[in-house]
Structure 1
Amino acid sequence: MGGCTSKPSSTSVKPNPYAPKDSLPQNDDSTPARTSTAVKASPFFPFYTPSPARHRRNKSHRDGGGESKSVTGTPLRQLARAFHPPSPAKHIRDVLRRRKEKKEGAPPAARQREEEVGLDKRFGFAKDFQSRMELGEEIGRGHFGYTCSAKFKKGEFKDHEVAVKVIPKSKMTTAISVEDVRREVKILRALSGHNNLVQFYDAFEDNANVYIVMELCGGGELLDRILTRGGKYSEDDAKAVLIQILNVVAFCHLQGVVHRDLKPENFLYISKEENSQLKVIDFGLSDFVRPDERLNDIVGSAYYVAPEVLHRSYTTEADVWSIGVIAYILLCGSRPFWARTESGIFRAVLKADPSFDEPPWPSLSLEAKDFVKRLLYKDPRKRMTASQALMHPWISGSKKMNIPFDILIFRQIKAYLKSSSLRKAALMALSKTLITDELLYLKAQFAILAPNKNGLITLDNIRTALATNATEAMKESRIPDFLALVLILLLSFVLVCLLYGFNKRFGVGNYEQLNGLQYKGMDFEEFCAASISVHQHESLDCWEQSVRHAYELFEMNGNRVIVIEELASELGVGSSIPVHTILHDWIRHSDGKLSFLGFVKLLHGVSSRQPLAKTR
C-alpha cells in the first residue's frame, strides 16, 4: 500500500505482493515522460511526483483535452524518472489497433490519414469566437488540448473572466475522439445549475479548434490542498469536502450521467479561501447511462478505477468507488491501492483490501471507517449510492441533510413490480428487520416523493420527483422512457391479474395491497419492501440475525406450497433437468414450502429477469 506520509521514500516503501518483479516500470506513453526543474516532489509526499504536464499549468484551472484518456493525475512513488501510468484503456486500445492493422495490411500512417480525411469535424457550434471572446494566457495543457483564460468582449457577460478549453481539430484523429468532444459539450450543456458543478457558458468552433467556455476557478485543485496539508484532513474538514462531492455526484447520477474520472485533480476551488466552494470539472470521459444499462469501455485513472470497470460491466456505482478512494486519501494521506506499475495497481484494486490498521486509522472514529469501507466494497451491489452516503451517520450526524432522489430507488421499485407475489412477501418480511440508518434513508426518500394526505405515493409522485430535478441530461439518458416502461409493465400486470384472478391463483394478501402503487398508492411499509437493497443489507454485521428473523416472519405470513416449475418460472431459468436438480433443495420436502436456502436465494434479486442486462 502506498502511504503518503512525510517519511523518506527509501524507508516508507513496503514490499507489494501485487507488483510485478521488474524493478523499473517502463513508460507506456508514446512519448517519453518529460522532466523539469519545476517538477518536484512534495516535501510532505516525497514520492508524490506531479504529472509531467503539471509544470505547464498554474493552480487556477485544469488542463484541457477532449479525449485525454491517457492521463492519470495522482503519480507513483518517486522513481528514477517521472512515471505517469496510462489509463486502463490504453493497452486494450493498442491491442485492438495492432490487430486491425495486421488484418487490414495497410500502413498505420496511411490509414490514419485516410480516416482523418473521412471524418466530419463539424460540431454545429457557434463560429464567432474571435468576435465574442478575448483569449488570454495559457493556464493549463494536456495531451489533447490546452486551457486559457479569456474575457467576453460583449453581451451580458462583458468583461467577465472565464476559462476556455481549446481542443485542436488536428488532434481528433478518430470518430471516437470526435464523439468524445461532442458528448463532453452535450453533458456540460445539459447539466446546468448545480452549485458544485463548473458552469458552462458556450461552445464555439472554427476550422482549427473547438472552444469550450467555462467558469474560471482560481482556488486550485483539491489535490493541491491535500498536498499542502501533508495529506491529512481532520474528520470535520474531510466531511466538508465529501458532502460537496457527494451532492454533485448524486445529482449527476439522478440525471443518468456517470463521470468516470473522479479524482482530486478534477475538483477545483472557486477561490483561495479556506471555505471556498468546490466544483467538479472535466467531463471528457463522462457518459450517459440508462437505468437498465451497463457500460463496458475501460476508462478512468488507475488509482481511482473501480473493480467492475476492469471487469467491463459497470454503471454509476463506479463513481462511488472513486469517491471512496478520495475519502481514504483525505483521512489518512495514503492511497488504498498502490503498486509500482499500472498492472500492479489493477491487481491491487481487484484483490487487495484497503488497510485500516496503520495510523491514523486506529485514532479515527468507527463511523469514519465504516463510511469509507461501505464506499469501497468490491461488489458494487453492496456499495452505498451517493445519496445513501449523504445519509450515513458519519456525514449527516445530527444535521438534517438535503438529499436528492436516489435513482436506485427507481430501479428497485421497477424490479419489485416485476417480482412475483412470493418474492414480494419475502421482501416485506426482510423490510421488517431494517436498522435505524436504513429506515432514516428510506424515510427521506419517501418524503421526497411527496406522499398524499393519506401517506401514499403513486407513479405520478415518482414522475413529479424526477421532473422536479430534471435537466436535459435526463432525457438523453432515457429515464422518462424508462418510467414509461414501468407504467406499461404495471398496466400489463394489472391486466393479467384481472384476467386470471390474482387472489385465487396466488392466495397471498389481497390484490390492492400488493399493487397499491397502481390503485390507491403505496404506503411506507410497502415502499420499504420495494426499495430495500438486499445486497447492501447483507453487508451489515446483523445480516445473519436479520435474515433468520425475516424467514420466521415469512413462515408466518407469506410462505406457501410451491412447485419447482413455478420456482423456475419465478427465477426465469427455464425448465431443464439440471436447473430442477438445483432448485429441489430450495423447497422443503416435508410440506412443499420454500426452505430457508430458497428464501435467501429469492431475496437476492434472482426474480428480476435481466437486471441491468444491457451493455454497451
Structure 2
Amino acid sequence: MGQCYGKGASSRAVEDELGVVPETHSPPPANGVPQTPPRPVAAAGTPRRRKSGSTTPVHQTPGVAWPSPYPAGTSPLPAGVSPSPARSTPRRFFKRPFPPPSPAKHIKATLAKRLGGGKPKEGTIPEEAGVVPPGGPGVVGDGADAERPLDKTFGFGKNFGAKYELGKEVGRGHFGHTCSAVVKKGEYKGQTVAVKIISKAKMTTAISIEDVRREVKILKALSGHNNLVKFYDACEDALNVYIVMELCEGGELLDRILARGGRYTEEDAKAIVVQILSVVAFCHLQGVVHRDLKPENFLFTTRDETAPMKLIDFGLSDFIRPDERLNDIVGSAYYVAPEVLHRSYSMEADIWSIGVITYILLCGSRPFWARTESGIFRSVLRADPNLDDSPWPSVSVEAKDFVKRFLNKDYRKRMTAVQALTHPWLRDDQRQIPLDILIYRLIKQYLRATPLKRLALKALSKALKDDELLYLRLQFKLLEPRDGVVSLDNFRTALTRYLTDAMKESRILEFLHALEPLAFRSMDFEEFCAAAISPYQLEALERWEEIAGAAFQQFEQEGNRVISVEELAQELNLAPTHYSIVQDWIRKTDGKLNFLGFTKFLHGVTIRGPNTRRH
C-alpha cells in the first residue's frame, strides 16, 4: 500500500509463458530508459510465509521451474538460520498506475484475490486458500464462518474531518488516492500535509486489511531519520482509512533521472546514493526490510536541486527478526534480487535493489531487461550486468567496483548499506557512519564458533590492510570502548541508542542475549576484527586470493594442527554420512588443513535437506 504521487495511467496486460500477467511494450531506446511506456501496474506476491518445518509445499507459479543457483547438497540458508516463521506476510497485489514513464515494471500475478469477486482470469495465480471467500467479497471463512464479515476497524482516530481540510488530489492508485490537506488544529496547525485515502470498500480480504495495518505500524514505528517520510497520523471513518504524512513536492528521483537524459554524473550520483544508503541502513538496523526500493519511491522535498530525498511507500515492507529468512516474492521485476525469486532472502535483497538504482544513475539503462517478466527473471538469475559498453569505460574503477559488489548474485558477498558508506567510491572522513546490525550477527556467530574456527578468523583478519579495516575501526569506535576493549555493556548501549518501536517489533534486541558471554569477558580491537569479518564478503574482493594466501600462512604458524576427518566433520556439524565432503581438506603428509580446507573451513558447510525449499 504505497503512497500515490501522480495521475493514473492505464496499462494492457497479456499472459506470458509463466502464467504471469505482464505488460507488453516496445523495447527501450539505446540508453535503456524508455520515455513513453506505461507506468507500473501491479506488484505481485507469492504465497504467504509458512511455518518452519511445514511439509506443505509452497504454491508455485504455473510453469515456473527456476534452477537453483546453489550446488546440490547445499542451501541458500546460512547455518543456524531459519526460514520464515508462522507469522504471516500476505501476498501483495497492487495496482498502482502512476506516470511519468518508468524504467521499472512491477512483478505481476493475479489481482483477482485482492479485487474480490468472480473467478481468477485464466493464467493467473489463485491464492492458496481460494481466490474469493466462499461467502463472496466482504466475508471470510467457510462453513459456519462463511457469514462472518471482515473486521474493517483499525482503532485509528475517528475525527479526521475535524482535524484536516482536504485539498486537491495529487496522486491516484488502485487502492486509494492522495490529496494535499491543511491541518486545522493541533501541533501542526496550518501545515500542509499529504493524506493517503484508502477505500474500505476495496478491502475485500483479510490480507488487504492486514496490509494497511502493517504499513501504518511501520510508518509509526520508524522515526528520526532525515531521509524517511514523516508520519503524522492515521484516521478512519466508515468509508476510508486516512494516512497523514509529510508532503514532498519535489517529485520522484525517477523524474530527475529522466530530466537529465537518463543518467547522472558520478558526483551527483554519489549524493543520491549516500542518502539512499543512509536511510536503508537505518531501516535495517531497526529490523525493517523495505522490499520495493526503486527511483519512484524516493521523493524530493522541494524542486530545489539540492533538496533532500525521502523514502516512501512501505506497503511491501515488513519487520524481520534476527536470523529470519523471508520467502514471499514481492517487489518490482527490474529491481528484484535473485534470492527473492528463490524464496529465501533477508535485508540483502534491498542492497541488490540499490545496486540496480546506482547502475541506472551511472549509465541510464537497466542492468537486467527483457520483454516479459519471465525474461527479466532469467536475466536477474543468470546474466551479469554490462559494465563494458559506453559509458562504462569512462566511469571510475571505484564506481564499477561498487556496483559489482552490490549486484553480486550471492547475497552473502554483498556489502551492507553501512559498509557501502565506507567504500572508496563514497568514502568521506567527515561523514558520520551509523551502527551496522551485521556486527551483532557476526559476533554472535563468532562467540558460538569453535576455538579452531576463531583462530582461522583471526588469521584472516590479520591479512587485511589498514584501509580494509576502516569499516571495522569505525564500528568499534561506535561501541565506545573503555581502555581499548568492549564488553556486553558496550554492545547494549550502542544498540539501545538507536532504539525505536520498530526495533522492539522486529526483536533486534534478541541479539544481546546471544552476546551474553561478553558479560564475563572483554574483546579488544584485534579480536573484534576477527569476530566481525565475513569471509564471504572478503571473497568478493579482487585481491581475495592474496588475502586468503596470507591468512593461510598466518594460520599455519599460529593455528593449524593435526585433525582427523571425523573431528573436522564434527567441527562443521556434519553427519557421518557427509564425512566424505571434507576428506580432501586435510593434507596426507601431516594431517593438517591444506589451503583448500582452510578456505572451505572459513565458510563452513550447509547441507540442504529434501524439504528445505518447501518452507
Q: Give TM-score, length-normalised by structure 2.
A: 0.80
- Computing the radius of gyration from Cα coordinates, the structure with the larger value is 1
The 1:542/1:43 distance shift into structure 2, 3 A limit, reads: closer
- Equivalent positions of 1:457-472 (< 5 A) are 457-472=486-501
The 1:165/1:568 distance shift into structure 2, 3 A limit, reads: same
Aligned to 1:391: 422
Aligned to 2:284: 253
Q: Which amino acid aligns with 1:315?
A: S
State the Cα distance separating 1:548 from its structure 2 match.
1.6
Indicate conservation of the 8 Å contact 2:359/2:367, yes or no.
yes
Q: Which amino acid aligns with 2:346?
A: T
Indicate conservation of the 8 Å contact 1:72/1:300, yes or no.
no
The 1:566/1:412 distance shift into structure 2, 3 A limit, reads: same
Matched, 1:179 2:179: no
The 1:615/1:75 distance shift into structure 2, 3 A limit, reads: farther
Indicate conservation of the 8 Å contact 2:98/2:173, yes or no.
no
The 1:419/1:384 distance shift into structure 2, 3 A limit, reads: same
The 1:44/1:392 distance shift into structure 2, 3 A limit, reads: closer
The 1:580/1:73 distance shift into structure 2, 3 A limit, reads: farther
Matched, 1:455 2:484: yes
Indicate conservation of the 8 Å contact 1:136/1:151, yes or no.
yes
Matched, 1:270 2:290: no
Q: Which amino acid aligns with 1:236?
A: E
Indicate conservation of the 8 Å contact 1:572/1:607, yes or no.
no
Aligned to 1:132: 163
From 25, 28, 46, give the equivalent of 2:21: 28
Q: Deviation digits for residues 117-161 of structure 1, max 9, x if unmatched?
A: 532211111111111111111110111111111111111211110
Q: Distance in 2 between matches of 1:436 and 1:208?
A: 61
Aligned to 2:434: 404
Q: Which amino acid aligns with 1:330?
A: L
Aligned to 2:572: 571
Aligned to 2:9: none
From 355, 363, 367, give the equivalent of 1:332: 363
Aligned to 1:499: none
Q: How many residues align?
A: 534
Aligned to 1:477: 506
Q: Distance in 2 between matches of 1:574 and 1:437?
A: 40
Aligned to 1:545: 546
- Equivalent positions of 1:440-451 (< 5 A) are 440-451=470-481
From 97, 107, 119, give the equivalent of 1:87: 107
The 1:134/1:456 distance shift into structure 2, 3 A limit, reads: same
SS of equivalent to 2:307: coil
Q: Which amino acid aligns with 1:402?
A: Q
The 1:287/1:24 distance shift into structure 2, 3 A limit, reads: closer
Q: Deviation digits for residues 40-84 of structure 1, max 9, x if unmatched?
A: x99995545241789xxxxxxxxxxx9654558799999xxxxx9
Indicate conservation of the 8 Å contact 2:150/2:205, yes or no.
yes
- Equivalent positions of 1:182-331 (< 5 A) are 182-331=213-362
The 1:427/1:127 distance shift into structure 2, 3 A limit, reads: same
Aligned to 2:59: none
Indicate conservation of the 8 Å contact 1:429/1:553, yes or no.
yes
Worse-superposed segment, 43-52 or 456-465: 43-52
Aligned to 1:432: 462
Indicate conservation of the 8 Å contact 2:20/2:125, yes or no.
no
Indicate conservation of the 8 Å contact 2:134/2:140, yes or no.
no
SS of equivalent to 1:594: coil
The 1:335/1:233 distance shift into structure 2, 3 A limit, reads: same
Indicate conservation of the 8 Å contact 1:145/1:167, yes or no.
yes
SS of equivalent to 1:294: coil
Q: Distance in 2 between matches of 1:581 and 1:92?
A: 51
Q: Deviation digits for residues 529-563 of structure 1, max 9, x if unmatched?
A: 10111011111121112112211111110111223
Q: Deviation digits for residues 161-208 of structure 1, max 9, x if unmatched?
A: 000011111211222211111111111111111000000001111111
Q: Distance in 2 between matches of 1:466 and 1:45?
A: 41
From 164, 172, 178, give the equivalent of 2:195: 164
The 1:45/1:371 distance shift into structure 2, 3 A limit, reads: closer
Q: Distance in 2 between matches of 1:444 and 1:600?
A: 27
The 1:549/1:73 distance shift into structure 2, 3 A limit, reads: farther
Indicate conservation of the 8 Å contact 2:440/2:511, yes or no.
no
RMSD: 3.3
SS of equivalent to 2:412: coil
Worse-superposed segment, 192-201 or 597-606: 597-606
Q: Deviation digits for residues 450-492 of structure 1, max 9, x if unmatched?
A: 111x2101111111111111111001110112322332xx3xx
State the Cα distance separating 1:110 from its structure 2 match.
4.6
Q: Distance in 1 between matches of 2:568 and 2:19?
A: 55
- Structure 2's unaligned 5+ residue stretches are 1-14, 43-90, 114-119, 142-147
Percent identity of equivalent pairs: 59
State the Cα distance separating 1:86 from its structure 2 match.
4.3
SS of equivalent to 1:553: helix
Q: Distance in 1 between matches of 2:481 and 2:614?
A: 35
Q: Distance in 2 between matches of 1:250 and 1:582?
A: 38
Indicate conservation of the 8 Å contact 2:194/2:246, yes or no.
yes
- Structure 1's unaligned 5+ residue stretches are 1-21, 35-40, 55-65, 79-83, 491-516
Q: Deviation digits for residues 549-606 of structure 1, max 9, x if unmatched?
A: 2111111101112233322222112223xx1222222222333222222211110144
State the Cα distance separating 1:304 from its structure 2 match.
0.7
SS of equivalent to 2:261: coil
- Equivalent positions of 1:47-62 (< 5 A) are 47-51=35-39
Q: Which amino acid aligns with 2:434?
A: P
Q: Which amino acid aligns with 2:515?
A: V
Q: Distance in 2 between matches of 1:186 and 1:77?
A: 29
Matched, 1:533 2:534: yes
Greater helix share, 1 or 2?
1
Q: Give TM-score, length-normalised by structure 1.
A: 0.80
Aligned to 1:114: 139
Q: Which amino acid aligns with 1:271?
A: T
Aligned to 1:37: none
The 1:569/1:239 distance shift into structure 2, 3 A limit, reads: same
SS of equivalent to 2:425: helix
Indicate conservation of the 8 Å contact 1:261/1:300, yes or no.
yes
Q: Which amino acid aligns with 1:545?
A: E
Aligned to 1:595: 594
Q: Deviation digits for residues 193-239 of structure 1, max 9, x if unmatched?
A: 10000000011111111110000001011101111110111111001
Q: Which amino acid aligns with 1:598?
A: G
Aligned to 1:370: 401
Aligned to 1:63: none
Q: Deviation digits for residues 232-272 of structure 1, max 9, x if unmatched?
A: 11111001111111000000000000000001000000100
SS of equivalent to 2:574: coil
Q: Distance in 2 between matches of 1:554 and 1:341?
A: 50
Q: Distance in 2 between matches of 1:140 and 1:68?
A: 19
SS of equivalent to 2:264: coil
Indicate conservation of the 8 Å contact 1:270/1:276, yes or no.
yes
Indicate conservation of the 8 Å contact 1:72/1:87, yes or no.
no
The 1:49/1:144 distance shift into structure 2, 3 A limit, reads: same
Aligned to 2:3: none
State the Cα distance separating 1:88 from its structure 2 match.
5.3
SS of equivalent to 2:576: coil
State the Cα distance separating 1:369 from its structure 2 match.
0.8
Q: Which amino acid aligns with 2:325?
A: R
Matched, 1:381 2:374: no
SS of equivalent to 1:148: strand
